[in-house]
């Protein structure tokens, strides 16, 4: 029911209207907590979200077709290839890729089964993962395919100027503290508070 204006009686110091909270414009009520997106920002945000949803499946399709691995498994090999002595603690791989420990462990079983990585205990806690010569050879073999994937999915549709803009844009986004990798402890606390991440 919408409140009706009434005339003030003598000595009445109250308001002439009695609006309910829902009648106060939302941005006005929460001015300090909400900054609405303008049309351009909405378009940019929706395009980015759409890209984030589509890209993993497209990458998996291309990577499975070229090297028989998911993009995530390929990312683990690439991460190891740039590490000192091509070795990393498994927990550091988890942090670098912002993945759950269970996902990394499951993928390690696949990689080890194909002889692409080996694991050894690390000071009685966790393990160290090393890229094998077979894994390095697969990465070298896959390099042309990865270039084709990058061009097919993104780069061939952009001009040189747009490519530079994309590099600057995502470089800036990647350094935002809000997008830092989630360490396993933070992930466990999130799951404990909100339940499993679906």
Q: What are phi and psi of 89, to 5 degrees?
A: -70, 145
Q: Helices 39-67 and 71-81, interaxial angle, to 10°?
A: 80
Dist. CA 180–CA 98, nearest whole Å: 8
pLDDT digits (tens, 9 = 90+) for 45-65: 999 999 989 988 888 888 888
Q: Is pTM, for the whole model, over 0.75?
A: no
The pLDDT tens digits of the residues spanning 157-197 come to: 899 999 999 999 988 888 887 776 555 555 555 545 555 54
Q: To the nearest whole number, what is the mean pLDDT of the chain? A: 80
Rounded CA gap, 198 and 195, in Å? 9
């Amino acid at each position: 029911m919408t409140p009706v204006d009434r005339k003030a009686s003598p000595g009445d110091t109250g308001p002439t209207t009695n609006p309910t909270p829902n009648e106060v414009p939302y941005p006005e009520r929460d001015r300090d907590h909400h900054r609405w997106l303008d049309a351009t920002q909405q378009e940019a945000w929706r395009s980015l979200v759409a890209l984030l949803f589509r890209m993993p499946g497209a990458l998996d399709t291309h990577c499975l077709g070229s090297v028989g691995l998911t993009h995530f498994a390929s990312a683990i090999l690439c991460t190891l290839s740039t590490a000192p002595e091509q070795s990393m603690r498994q927990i550091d791989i988890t942090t670098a890729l912002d993945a759950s420990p269970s996902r990394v462990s499951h993928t390690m079983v696949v990689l080890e089964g194909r002889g692409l990585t080996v694991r050894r205990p690390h000071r009685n806690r966790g393990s160290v993962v090393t890229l094998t010569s077979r894994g390095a050879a697969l990465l070298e073999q896959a390099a042309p395919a990865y270039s084709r994937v990058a061009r097919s999915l993104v780069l061939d549709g952009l001009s040189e100027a747009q490519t530079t803009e994309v590099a600057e844009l995502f470089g800036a986004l990647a350094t935002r503290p809000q997008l830092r990798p989630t360490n396993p402890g933070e992930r466990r606390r999130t799951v404990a508070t909100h339940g499993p991440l679906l």
